[in-house]
Every structure is written in structure tokens, then in C-alpha cells.
Amino acid sequence: MKIRQLTIAAAVALATLGTGLAQAQDIKNRLIRFGYGLNEVSNQGRAAKVFADEVEKASGGKMKIRAIGAAALGSDVQMQQALIGGAQEMMVGSTATLVGITKEMAIWDTPFLFNNGKEADAVLDGPVGQKVMDKLQEKGLVGLVYWENGFRNLTNNKRAVTKLEDMEGIKLRVMQNNVFIDSFKTLGANAVPLPFSELFTALETKTVDGQENPYNTILSSKFYEVQKYLTVTNHVYSPWIVLVSKKYWDGLSKDEQKVLLDAAKKSRDFERKDTRAEADKALADLRAKGMQVNELSSAEAGRMRDKLSAINTSIAANVGESLWKEVQDAVAQARTA
Ligand code: TF8
């Protein structure tokens, strides 16, 4: 009896401590829709769950995140518009699909910009990453953190791509973004921009022959069911970005904003670890699922790289020479750090 009473007393004390903390802060009951494009069972879905749990915990249960995956709230581009208009509160999606809104985002689409995750983290989390993110504000979006989508690799159904010439005429789905369209045109493919939410069906019905995405996504979106060949190209590193509607953000208290930002940072740290661990073993999983994996010889990888460097000038012109240089300097610094 005594022990039981003590336990109850302790539980009550703990509970009031929790809500007490949240009450001392300016936090209201809030329901936040957080949309994303991949499946619940994906690196994106797992990190969305971590974000939701962290927000709930830090707000004493007052702020609730309803994470809605599989593009049920729309494609990246549709969700961005919903955030700008204030019809949806939050989302995570590709930076590449933001280029139509904020041209500076195209800097992250530069082929072979980063050699590894460490360089990407240093630049994206550093001052220039923040600067690019802050450009979204004048367009009605608040960026909180970058997550890792990852290094992109090529899959297709037409032929094993082992040299540059093999790209010729492959109908390749790309993101709705000019740098990606130009990159794959330069390599000889027939680049077709499509939202991710339409991709599986486009592959299945052979509307397109191929696509490019990180291993994690090829796995979680089951592209191995409709794609035979995978070529390890690592042609570009894609970030994801966690966004809030600026209209919504401006109506939040400082405490509420802090809850979201802190939770976003925790989710980012979790997401990068989780994504990298999955990517490390994904290639073996994809082989086991029946995909034929081709590595490029270093000579062929070099030819692709050279070819793609032709688009750097236009990226620099589009994002501005000074931002281009700032990012190059930040990468160089990360590389020697
Ligand atoms: C793509 C991207 C997607 C993301 C995701 C839906 O190919 O890599 O993974 O936009 O948020 O569209």
C-alpha cells in the first residue's frame, strides 16, 4: 500500500512537472499537418515520426504533428503552394522542387558538388546553407533544417548503363527542375520532368524507362519491382528540407517556434544517421531483390563528370556568381577540415 501510494504520488509529481514546464511557456494546443512524399516505411517516414514525437514531448502534449506520407496531401510542388497559401502547416521535400520558387536552391543541384555526407553536412548546416534557406522567407516559406535524401543513382529498364553512350535515348524521369533536365539532356538521355508521386506508375506502364534517386528510395518505393538495371553514378547529392508555412509560423509564439526548430534539429540528426546506415546496406538488398548493379569504371565516371561540368556555368549564372563562389569556398573548407 505504502509503495503503491508513493508510486502514484511520484507519477502525479512527474506529470505536473511535465505540464508545468509547458504551461510556463507560451504554448497553445495546436494541430500541425506535416506532409511528405515517400511511404511511411522509408527514411523520410521514420524521421517524420521522430519529429512528431519530439514536438509532442517538448510541448507537454499540446502541439500535435499529424504526419501524412505517400503524397496524400499532394506532390512536393503542390504542398509548397499549400504552405505558401496557408492551407497546410508543414512538409518535408526535395530542395530541387523549390527552384521555381527560390532560384538559389539550384545551387544544391550542382552535379558532384559534395564527395560525402560530411561535406554536405558542413556546408548545408553552415552559414551559406542558412543563407540559401532564408531566401525562402520572402516567398512565404520558412526552412528549418536540411535532411538527407542522399546521393542519387540511376535505374532503368532499357539496358545496363556502363558508359556515357548507353544513356542515349533513355526516357528518364527527372524532378521538376531545370538543372536536372539540363544534366540528363547533356548526358544524352530524354529527360521527362514528373512529380515523384506519379513515378512508380510511369515506370510500371513504361511511360518512362528510368529514374534516378538514392538507394534508400529505390528500396522503399519498390522501384526494384519495375526496374532491372542500376548504375552506381552518385551524380548528385540531394538534400531534403523541412518547411513551415510562413503565414503559420508568424502566428506562433517564440516558445512554439523553438519547439518546432529544436525538434527539427533532433529529427535531422536522427534522419542522417538512419539514412546513411540504410544506404550502406541497400545495394546488397537491391541485388537480392533482383536488380543488376553496374559500377562505372573510373574512366567512364570521369567522362560523365566532365560532360556534366558543362552545366556549372549556367547554374552559377542562375544562382549568382557570388553565391556560387561562396558555396565553392565552403566546400573547399569542408574538404580540408
Ligand atoms: C524525387 C525526390 C523525392 C522527394 C520526396 C518525395 O525524386 O528525390 O524523393 O521529392 O520528398 O522527386
166 contact partners, CB below 8 Å, separation of at least 6:
159, 160
Task: Give the pocket of ligand 1 (CB within 6 Å).
Answer: 36-38, 76, 93-94, 97, 149, 175, 196, 213, 217, 238, 240
Sheet holding 190-193, edge to edge: 190-193, 171-174, 210-213, 153-156, 229-232, 292-295
Total residues belonging to the chain: 337
User: What's the Cα-to-Cα distance from 223 to each of 15, 156, 204, 271, 289, rounded to whole Å?
Assistant: 46, 10, 9, 21, 10
Question: Taking a C-beta distance cutoff of 8 angstroms, is the pair 327, 136 a contact?
Answer: no
The widest CA-to-CA distance across the chain, in whole angstroms, is: 80
210 contact partners, CB below 8 Å, separation of at least 6:
154, 155, 156, 157, 158, 170, 171, 172, 173, 189, 203, 227, 229
In this structure, is residue 81 part of a structural domain? yes
| C-alpha to C-alpha distance for 34 and 67, rounded to whole angstroms | 5
Residue indicated by cell numbers 549556367 = 314
pLDDT digits (tens, 9 = 90+) for 281-332: 999 999 999 999 999 999 999 999 999 999 999 999 999 999 999 999 999 9
In this structure, is residue 198 part of a structural domain? yes
Task: Determine whether 102 is exposed, middle or buried from the number of CB atoms within 10 Å of its CB (0-12, 13-18, 19+).
Answer: buried
Half-sphere exposure of 23 (CA within 13 A, CB side): 6
Counted domains in the chain: 1
Give nearest CA residue, ligand 1 atom 11. 93
pLDDT of residue 337: 87
Probe residue for ligand 1, chosen from 213, 223, 243, 278 as the CB with the greatest number of ligand atoms within 8 Å: 213
pLDDT at 36 over 90: yes
pLDDT of residue 24: 76
Question: Taking a C-beta distance cutoff of 8 angstroms, is the pair 97, 240 a contact?
Answer: no
In this structure, is residue 68 part of a structural domain? yes
Instruction: Please give the sequence-ordered ranges of beta strands (E in DSSP) within 82-128, or none if there are none.
Output: 90-94
Task: Note the Cα 119 to chain centre separation in Å.
Answer: 16
- Ligand 1 atom closest to the Cα of residue 211 is 7
In this structure, is residue 197 part of a structural domain? yes
| C-alpha to C-alpha distance for 234 and 336, rounded to whole angstroms | 21
In this structure, is residue 9 part of a structural domain? no
**Ligand 1 mean position, distance from CA 197 (Å):** 8
Task: Determine whether 39 is exposed, middle or buried from the number of CB atoms within 10 Å of its CB (0-12, 13-18, 19+).
Answer: middle
In this structure, is residue 241 part of a structural domain? yes
pLDDT digits (tens, 9 = 90+) for 179-216: 999 999 999 999 999 999 999 999 999 999 999 999 99
Instruction: Please give the sequence-ordered ranges of beta strands (E in DSSP) within the chain, or none if there are none.
Output: 30-35, 63-68, 90-94, 141-151, 153-156, 171-174, 190-193, 210-213, 229-232, 237-245, 292-295
In this structure, is residue 173 part of a structural domain? yes
Question: Taking a C-beta distance cutoff of 8 angstroms, is the pair 159, 138 a contact?
Answer: no
Interface ipTM > 0.90: yes
Helical (H) or strand (E) element with 112: none
Q: How many CB atoms lie within 10 A of CB 211?
A: 28
Domain range for 211: 28-336
**Ligand 1 mean position, distance from CA 4 (Å):** 52
Q: Mean pLDDT over residues 154-172, rounded?
A: 98
In this structure, is residue 12 part of a structural domain? no
- pLDDT class for 1, splitting at 50, 70, 90? very low
Task: Determine whether 90 is exposed, middle or buried from the number of CB atoms within 10 Å of its CB (0-12, 13-18, 19+).
Answer: buried
- Of 47 and 10, the one with more pLDDT: 47
pLDDT digits (tens, 9 = 90+) for 50-105: 999 999 999 999 999 999 999 999 999 999 999 999 999 999 999 999 999 999 99
CATH number of the domain to which 247 belongs: 3.40.190.170
Cell of 309: 561540368
| C-alpha to C-alpha distance for 287 and 224, rounded to whole angstroms | 9
